Amino acid sequence: MNDMSNNWDNLAEEAVEALLNGPGYYLAESVFTADEVAAANRIINAHSDVAQAATHFHGEHADKIHLQRRVWNLLNKGKVFVDMVQHPLVMKVFGKILGRQFILGSFAANRLLPGAPGQEPHIDYPYWDLHDPDEFPAGINAGFHMNCQSLISLHEFTAENGATAVVPGSQTRGLYPSKETFDDEHIQLTCPPGSLLLFVGMIWHCSMPNNSSGERTSVLGQYLPKFVKPMEALDRSVDAAVRDAATPELHQLLGLDLRYPELLEDSEAGNAEGRKA
């Protein structure tokens, strides 16, 4: 990690403001070192050189889906990811927006090979079912955030290789994106390798087509308030060795300190009472 320890507090203030009251995203350039980026790429590539790593969602192009590869559960795959997931800027900014005991829902990679198609414009879990508002409580809106995302660029992101696209301000609409409006309003966030993009999950966004001859990989972190169910079952899938070595921050992210659901009566006694009634 680049040594900026004194600066994270200042950047965090700016980032919280940008996510809560500004465009809905904040880009910190060149946060991770070239060595960290190289290590992350090496591991992700080793786990996705087979087409089985192809994704199953976001987009029409079934014939090209093998060119977009996912690697899940990165925390088991290298110390570099354990460091990335709890970067001080992530912890400071998302703690303010999601509440102190916020948790991790997923830590995964999105690797776009040359020729990979773009994703469908979307909003992130748990909002990505919002194309059917009936799945959500009545009155759902953008009044507070149930998801914040981190995205780490593991290559230089350019317009040509599919830099992430966003519609600034769209998070306040509280709606699933319309493709036509997205096409008219999006911008692409180009950045150097090792950059850290923070955004709220309600912002309309997607990865764009990789029209270059090189690869374009991102590491995606999903962070949630403590009361939203995580998308990946990290409590069951993160190795005991990673859990046992966890810092207090990682402990929090894995939800290991969460109180609910709680057993508020002895089940034997409770069942016996029930039978008597």
Window of 60-68, 122-130, 189-197, 255-263 that interacts with Fe ion by CB under 5 A: 122-130
> Closest by alpha carbon to 196, among 147, 149, 148, 151?
151
Helix segments in 47-132, DSSP class H: 79-85, 88-98
Q: Does 151 bind Fe ion (CB under 5 A)?
A: no
Given 71, 86, 103, 124, the residue binding Fe ion (CB under 5 A): 124
Q: Is 4 exposed, middle or buried (0-12, 13-18, 19+ CB in 10 A)?
A: middle
- Closest contact distance (angstroms) between CB of 150 and ligand AKG is 11
> Binds 218, which of Fe ion, ligand AKG, none (CB < 5 to 8 A, cut-off by type)?
ligand AKG
> Binds 87, which of ligand AKG, Fe ion, none (CB < 5 to 8 A, cut-off by type)?
none
- Closest contact distance (angstroms) between CB of 70 and Fe ion is 12
Window of 105-113, 118-126, 160-168, 179-187 that interacts with Fe ion by CB under 5 A: 118-126
Q: Supply angle C-alpha 136, 227, 26, rounded to 5.
A: 85
Q: Pick between residue 59 and residue 225 the one whose CB is nearest to ligand AKG.
A: 59
The dihedral region occupied by 30, where left means phi > 0, alpha psi between -120 and 50, and beta the remainder, is: left
Q: Pick between residue 68 and residue 252 the one whose CB is nearest to Fe ion.
A: 68
8 Å CB contact between 165 and 218:
no
Q: Pick between residue 116 and residue 253 the one whose CB is nearest to ligand AKG.
A: 116
Strands 25-28 and 148-153: unpaired
Residue 92 has which token pair? 């400071």
- Closest contact distance (angstroms) between CB of 190 and Fe ion is 18
b (16+ CB within 10 A) / e for 139-155: eeebeebbbbbbbbbbb
> Binds 170, which of ligand AKG, Fe ion, none (CB < 5 to 8 A, cut-off by type)?
none
Q: Pick between residue 8 and residue 204 the one whose CB is nearest to Fe ion.
A: 204
- DSSP-assigned beta bridge partners for residue 217: 111
Site for ligand AKG, rule CB under 6 A:
110, 124, 151, 164, 205-207, 218, 220
Residue 33 has which token pair? 């070192």
Tell me which residues touch Fe ion (CB under 5 A).
124
